[in-house]
């Protein structure tokens, strides 16, 4: 898949980008170039010195912003595979700075799509979020729009071999801005803020996220939104796993936040198929292209009222399993 290929990751200095880059460099020595495209020169400098990345002959760092189409055109020259991970993500910041999120998450997505088409890219995978399913906040709305742009882009590639696929998942365990690092930080203070005692979340590690993107690159047919089958956890169980000795203060949910994550809503059930390890949300029926996609991707249709949500998931992580995940994927010295 990567042999002799040039790969570019937008937002490559983020949590996902760093893990993806290290995995590709370690597991696919045949990659010709691996380009980290991002706008923060300090993060690029720090990343360039990380073990497994420093001095690797395939690694490249390219300063730029997805808002700048000319810079994208320059960066995508000779690129075969694009992973689009660049986005503004903080929900409260989106409510206060809405057009900044629109410029990066929507207009930036379209800039990436056009650069892929014009520069002869062969495969593109865009990262999405559970918040794009029935969005309750502006961040989710911008990512839903981005998803629609990437899926619709398959209609205009013409005879090119280019395929666009979207992968959708929830909060990554231990990623920047997630609840696990917050609880670990506040543990010493003796009190943990709980937004709502009923809150649940899906559990996904960074390696799970990378595995999903690699699966999309290897098996994606273009036009689908892939959704992983993963366990859930209860916020109170997470608090118990990290700091059972701490008191808990119920502070209420933030504006635009949901009690339970959703990744497939009932409105999408008619277009969703079960692929075994993943679900795939396909474009709406109504043309030869969508019918052909259904035949190529295969899978089993889900029930008509299917709703994939963290609150009604089939499997929940125990307190012990959460502790093991934190030790293995977030903080090795966690006790």
Q: Residue 162 has which token pair?
A: 């280019």
Neighbours of 85 (CB within 10 A): 22
Query: From CA 164, how far away is CA 146, in angstroms rounded?
Result: 12
For 3, residues 6+ apart whose C-beta sits below 8 A from its C-beta are 28, 30, 31
148 catalytic? Reply is: no
* Residue given tokens 């981005």 in the structure block: 146
Q: Which of 131, 143, 185, 229 is catalytic?
A: 131
Q: Residue 241 has which token pair?
A: 């796993």
What are the residues facing 123 on neighbouring strands? 81, 163
* Residue given tokens 């994927």 in the structure block: 329
Query: From CA 165, how far away is CA 225, in angstroms rounded?
Result: 6
Structural contact between residues 307 and 260, judged by C-beta atoms closer than 8 angstroms: no
Chain centre to alpha carbon of residue 168:
6
Neighbours of 298 (CB within 10 A): 11
State whether residue 281 is helix, strand or coil. strand
| Distance set, CA 323 to CA 68, 239, 328, 332 (Å) | 42, 10, 9, 10
CA-CA-CA-CA torsion sign (150, 154, 160, 166): positive
Catalytic machinery residues:
131
């Amino acid at each position: 898949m990567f042999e002799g290929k040039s790969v570019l990751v937008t937002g490559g200095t983020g949590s996902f980008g760093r893990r993806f880059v290290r995995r590709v460099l370690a597991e696919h020595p045949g990659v010709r170039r691996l380009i980290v495209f991002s706008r923060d020169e300090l993060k690029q400098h720090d990343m360039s010195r990380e073990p497994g990345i420093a001095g690797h002959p395939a690694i490249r760092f390219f300063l730029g912003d997805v808002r700048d189409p000319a810079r994208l055109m320059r960066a995508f020259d000779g690129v075969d595979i694009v992973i689009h991970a660049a986005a503004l993500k903080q929900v409260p910041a989106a409510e206060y700075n809405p057009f900044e999120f629109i410029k990066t998450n929507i207009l930036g997505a379209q800039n990436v799509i056009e650069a892929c088409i014009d520069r002869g890219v062969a495969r593109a995978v865009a990262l999405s979020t559970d918040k794009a399913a029935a969005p309750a906040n502006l961040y989710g709305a911008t990512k839903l729009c981005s998803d629609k742009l990437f899926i619709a882009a398959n209609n205009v590639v013409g005879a090119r071999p280019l395929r666009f696929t979207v992968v959708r998942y929830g909060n990554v365990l231990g990623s920047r801005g997630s609840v696990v690092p917050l609880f670990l930080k506040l543990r010493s203070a003796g009190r943990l803020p709980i937004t709502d005692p009923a809150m649940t979340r899906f559990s996904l590690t960074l390696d799970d996220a990378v595995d999903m993107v690699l699966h999309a690159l290897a098996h994606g047919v273009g036009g689908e939104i892939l959704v992983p089958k993963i366990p859930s956890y209860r916020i109170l169980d997470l608090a118990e796993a990290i700091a059972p000795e701490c008191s808990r203060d119920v502070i209420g949910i933030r504006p635009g936040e949901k009690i339970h994550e959703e990744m497939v809503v009932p409105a999408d059930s008619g277009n969703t198929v079960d692929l075994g390890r993943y679900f795939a949300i396909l474009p709406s029926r109504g043309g030869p292209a969508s019918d052909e996609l259904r035949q190529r991707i295969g899978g089993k249709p889900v029930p008509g009222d299917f709703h994939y949500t963290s609150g009604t998931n089939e499997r929940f992580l125990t307190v012990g399993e959460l502790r093991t995940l934190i030790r293995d994927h977030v903080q090795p010295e966690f006790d």
